[in-house]
C-alpha cells in the first residue's frame, strides 16, 4: 500500500482512483462496508483504491486533552487498511489551514485536481470542510462531469447503528462482546514490548510492557486477553492476564498495557505484540503494598484461567 503523508507530498496522481474519506477510527464494520464498495468499484474500473484520512483526528485538534479516546492509533489503522487491500493511503495533517479550508476548495483542489477521483464512496452522515458545511449534497453538486458518487447506509448490529462513538462507550463499560460485534473482531491494541521497572519479576509475575501511543485509552482495569506475535516467521498466540491503566500501586506515570502470559515463556523485548481483549476481570485500584498486589494478581490469573473456558 502506497502511503502519502501531508498536503505538500500530495501531487497530482498519475492515475485516477476510487476513493473514500473519513477518520476510520477502529476500522469497524461500518468502515469495512465503505471500503468493500471502494475495492469493488476500483476493480470494475481497473484503477487504484484510495483512503484519505486526517491526522491528528480533528476532535484531537479541537478538543485537546478532552478529546475522546482513540480506538486505533495511526499504525494500527495503517495495517488494517493494508490488510483489507487498499492501494493508496493519503494522510493529511489536520491543522489550522485544513480547518479553514472551504468545503468547495477541498473538493476542487484535493479530490478532483490532486487525487483525480473517478468515483467517491462516503458514509451517509459524512461532513467536511470549514464549519463542517460540506456534505453529500455538496459532493453531488460538484460531481457533474467530474466523478460519480456513491452513498453507503448505516450498518446496524442488534438494531444499533455501528459507530466509533458507540464502540468507545461499550468498551468503557466493559461490554467487550458488544464492541467485538461492531468491530468485526476483538478489540485489540498493538505495540512493541519495552523494558519496564521489572517489578513483575520480583513478585514472580513477569509482564510484557507495552507503551500506549494514545492520548487516552478506551479500556481500563484487568482483563483476560489473547496475545499474538510473530516468532521465527510463524504467528504465535497465547492467553494472558493484562492490566491497562496507570498502575497506582507503583506510582505509574502515564497509561501502560502490561501483560502476563499464561503457561508460556517467551523473550518478547522489541517484539510487536497484538493484545486482544476478551473479558473484564476487575477495575484497577491502589494496594497498600506489593505483597497485597501479589496476592491479588494470583487471584486475577486464576480468574483469567476460569474465563478462558468461555471462549
Q: Residue 200 domain-assigned? A: yes
Q: What is the rounded radius of gyration, in angstroms, for the C-alpha atoms of the chain? A: 22
Residue 46: domain span: 2-161
Residue 283 cell numbers, joined: 477495575
Q: Residues 128, 227: one domain?
A: no
pLDDT on residue 254? 66
Tell whether 207 and 282 lie within a shared domain.
yes
Q: Is the residue at 55 inside a domain? A: yes
CA 284 to chain centre: 23
Same domain, 204 and 85: no
Q: Is residue 40 part of a domain?
A: yes
Residue 262 covered by a domain: yes
CB 135, CB 126: distance < 8 Å: yes
Give the pLDDT of residue 114. Answer: 94
The confidence score (pLDDT) of residue 204 equals 59
Residue 178 is assigned to a structural domain of this protein: no
d(CA 85, CA 72): 18
**Same domain, yes or no, for 150 and 38?**
yes
> Residue 53: which CATH number?
3.40.50.620
Do 154 and 199 belong to one domain? no
Q: How many domains does the chain have?
A: 2
Are 140 and 8 found together in one domain? Answer: yes
Block means of pLDDT (10 residues each) for the chain, length 311 residues? 91 93 94 96 97 88 84 94 97 89 93 96 83 88 93 92 95 97 96 71 71 82 96 91 74 77 85 95 81 84 94 92
The pLDDT value recorded for residue 250 is: 53
Q: Tell me the pTM.
A: 0.90
Q: Are residues 144 and 42 in the same domain?
A: yes
Region at 280 (left for phi over 0; alpha for psi -120 to 50; beta for the rest): beta
**Long-range contacts for 291-300 (Cβ within 8 Å, ≥24 apart)?**
293/203, 293/249, 294/203, 294/204, 294/205, 297/203, 297/205, 297/241, 297/260, 298/205, 300/222, 300/241
pLDDT at 247: 59
The pLDDT score that the predictor gives to residue 57 is 81
Rounded distance, CA 106 to CA 248, Å?
46
Amino acid at each position: 500500500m502506497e502511503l502519502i503523508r501531508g498536503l505538500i507530498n500530495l501531487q497530482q496522481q498519475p492515475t485516477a482512483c476510487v476513493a473514500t474519506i473519513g477518520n476510520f477510527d477502529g476500522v469497524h464494520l461500518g468502515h469495512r462496508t465503505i471500503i468493500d464498495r471502494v475495492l469493488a468499484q476500483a476493480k470494475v474500473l481497473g484503477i487504484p483504491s484510495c483512503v484519505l484520512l486526517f491526522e491528528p483526528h480533528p476532535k484531537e485538534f479541537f478538543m485537546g486533552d478532552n478529546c475522546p479516546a482513540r480506538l486505533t492509533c495511526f499504525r494500527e489503522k495503517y495495517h488494517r487498511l493494508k490488510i483489507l487491500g487498499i492501494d493508496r493511503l493519503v494522510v493529511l495533517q489536520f491543522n489550522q489551514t485544513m480547518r479553514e479550508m472551504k468545503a468547495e476548495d477541498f473538493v476542487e483542489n484535493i479530490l478532483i485536481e490532486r487525487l483525480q477521483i473517478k468515483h467517491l464512496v462516503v458514509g451517509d452522515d459524512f461532513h467536511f470542510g470549514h464549519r463542517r458545511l460540506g456534505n453529500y449534497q455538496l459532493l453531488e453538486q460538484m460531481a457533474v462531469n467530474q466523478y460519480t458518487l456513491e452513498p453507503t447506509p448505516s450498518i446496524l448490529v442488534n438494531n444499533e447503528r455501528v459507530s466509533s462513538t458507540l464502540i468507545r462507550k461499550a468498551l468503557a463499560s466493559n461490554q467487550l462482546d458488544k464492541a467485538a460485534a461492531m468491530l468485526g473482531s476483538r478489540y485489540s491494541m498493538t505495540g512493541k514490548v519495552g523494558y519496564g521497572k521489572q517489578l513483575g519479576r520480583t513478585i514472580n509475575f513477569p509482564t510484557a510492557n507495552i507503551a500506549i501511543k494514545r492520548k487516552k485509552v478506551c479500556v481500563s482495569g484487568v482483563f483476560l486477553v489473547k496475545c499474538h506475535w510473530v516468532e521465527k516467521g510463524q504467528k504465535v498466540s497465547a492467553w494472558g492476564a493484562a492490566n491497562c491503566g496507570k498502575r497506582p500501586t507503583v506510582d505509574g506515570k502515564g497509561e501502560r498495557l502490561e501483560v502476563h502470559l499464561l503457561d508460556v515463556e517467551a523473550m518478547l523485548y522489541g517484539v510487536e505484540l497484538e493484545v486482544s481483549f476478551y473479558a473484564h476481570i476487575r477495575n484497577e485500584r491502589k494496594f497498600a503494598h506489593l505483597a497485597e498486589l501479589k496476592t491479588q494478581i494470583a487471584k486475577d490469573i486464576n480468574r483469567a484461567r476460569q474465563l478462558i473456558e468461555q471462549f
